[in-house]
Amino acid sequence: MSLYSKYRPRNFRDLVGQDHVAQTLERALEQDKLSHSYLFCGSRGVGKTTVARILAQGANCSAKKEKPCGKCRGCLTVAKGSNSDILELDAASNRGIDEIRSLREKVQFAPSFGRYKVYIIDEVHMLTKEAFNALLKTLEEPPSHAVFILATTEAHKVPATIVSRCQRFDFHRATTKSVLELLSKVVQAENIAIEEEGAVLIARAADGAYRDALTLLEQISLNVVAGKEEQAISADTVRAKLGLIAEPLMWQLLTQVAGTKKEEAIKTLYKFIEQGADWRFIVNSLLEKLRHALFFAIAPSVVTADLTAQEKKYLALLAKTMKEEGIVKLINLLLQAQEQLRYASLPEVPVACALARYFDSASPASLKTAITPKATVPQKEKTSLAESGEKEAVAISEQVWGKIVEAVKENNSTLAGLLAQSQPYLASGNLIIEVPYKFWEERIKNSKNNKAICKAACQVLGEAIKLALPKPNGAIKKTLNEAMRQEDKAIKDEIADVFG
């Protein structure tokens, strides 16, 4: 007997995750107020047929309370499968009018020994139009001893005329948490040793279906038992069985991206290439993880049972290092890559580009903060180069710099042309100008030129500018990188912690 049949709930008490359905039906049985037709809606594997069988058994149970009792004659015949008053029809394979006609004829006969004849029609939306019409006639005037239970995964395909005749119940999709509850119950009863993380992975792979969870558990445990003895099923074994081997590598990639470890991230990407990875699957998985990270960054409490303890640790790290803004940026870049993947002959290229662009945007030089004319500029007493405070350097936006260059151009167009090709920053009341060629430094240091630049900058920014300090290309970026490195040290230590 499969684990699923063995642990299939036999009464409403054992039912997991469908309390709203169980309570109403249990009460109807106790008060003897059964409806003639029910419609059970919900995705596959959530227990619709199981509940239909419990209800059918309860209808013919002679106990006073807690039906079905499992002990009376009615209940025992159901358990043995010899109860001729409960009939099941799978509409997926019996769609036509003939089946429904024969059902209509049979339904006229009284039940053989119970009070009700119960018809369970599974996947009822599959019936043909004629079959539905025939069924409708029966539902409109049912014999007093008939109960119809119609089950469907696609309620919108059931004609409204049928739906309006039925008492409708919508079954909830199983949450990972309730699947986990069921798994832990079965694991205990069956003496199966499995790592907690492995159980979470199975529960998640079951995607809302209890039946799938137990089937997966069974397959994996059989395999393991046949292979090695007396060993707990590890999370890695589960990953291998579920085709999730790439998972740890994906987390590694994301934490490297978060820590702006460009080179290492590209090396990890290369490992995927070596493994002949399915890039669509990988991009999808990365997006799913980032979606969790985004939720974690905004509302940590919504991230719950779906994740293993290790995954939560990774998410906390991503949320902390990338922040909401960085996560959104990477999600957008990967969404673009996902689109490009459809046409790419080398599928790793869009992904590599997405990462490169993310790193590029995460570098300090590109954080072009627009400075409004009245922006406060940090003031300091000393103006020497060494103490001019590049750590506080703020890039001047292209727009603002354009205005300054224009003002210079009025008196000195050569100087303006040179400035237009330089990169400006503000730090401690000084204008720091990164020049592409070393010999331009002298042109800026020239006292007449320097005064002209400061005057123009002062006009545009509305702040006193002490000096224009020329710097070789890349100097500011390096200084900023160094400052960021120090600030981020704590965060990077945490990354090291996660990887042990």
Which residue number, 31 or 345, has a Cβ lying nearer to Zn ion? 31
- Other beta carbons less than 10 A from residue 400's beta carbon: 22
Residues 6+ apart with CB under 8 A from 349: none
Given 34, 63, 349, 352, the residue binding Zn ion (CB under 5 A): 63
Which residue number, 11 or 338, has a Cβ lying nearer to Zn ion? 11
| Cα separation values, 480 from 217, 267, 500, Å | 52, 25, 29
Residues 6+ apart with CB under 8 A from 50: 8, 9, 15
Given 3, 25, 61, 214, the residue binding Zn ion (CB under 5 A): 61
H helix intervals, 18-164: 19-30, 48-59, 73-80, 97-107, 129-140, 160-163
CB of 73 to Zn ion, least distance (A): 8
Between CA 488 and CA 260 the distance in angstroms is 10
CB of 132 to Zn ion, least distance (A): 33
- Our finding on whether 78 is near Zn ion (CB under 5 A) is no
- Our finding on whether 69 is near Zn ion (CB under 5 A) is yes
Helix axes 235-242, 210-227, angle to 10 degrees: 110
Nearest to 390 by CA among 481, 484, 476, 469: 476
Nearest to 209 by CA among 239, 178, 188: 178
Which residue number, 115 or 380, has a Cβ lying nearer to Zn ion? 115
Which residue number, 71 or 104, has a Cβ lying nearer to Zn ion? 71
CB of 60 to Zn ion, least distance (A): 8
Which residue number, 34 or 69, has a Cβ lying nearer to Zn ion? 69
Between CA 336 and CA 343 the distance in angstroms is 12
Given 28, 29, 75, 126, the residue binding Zn ion (CB under 5 A): 75
Which residue number, 68 or 208, has a Cβ lying nearer to Zn ion? 68
CB of 1 to Zn ion, least distance (A): 22
- Our finding on whether 365 is near Zn ion (CB under 5 A) is no
CB of 11 to Zn ion, least distance (A): 10
Between CA 29 and CA 27 the distance in angstroms is 5
Given 16, 72, 249, 356, the residue binding Zn ion (CB under 5 A): 72
Phi, psi dihedral angles at 37 (to 5 degrees): -145, 135
- Our finding on whether 356 is near Zn ion (CB under 5 A) is no
Which residue number, 29 or 134, has a Cβ lying nearer to Zn ion? 29
Residues 222-241 interacting with Zn ion (rule: CB under 5 A): none
CB of 75 to Zn ion, least distance (A): 3
- Pairing status of strand 146-152 against strand 117-122: parallel
- Our finding on whether 59 is near Zn ion (CB under 5 A) is no
Positions that interact with Zn ion (CB under 5 A): 61, 63, 68-69, 72, 75
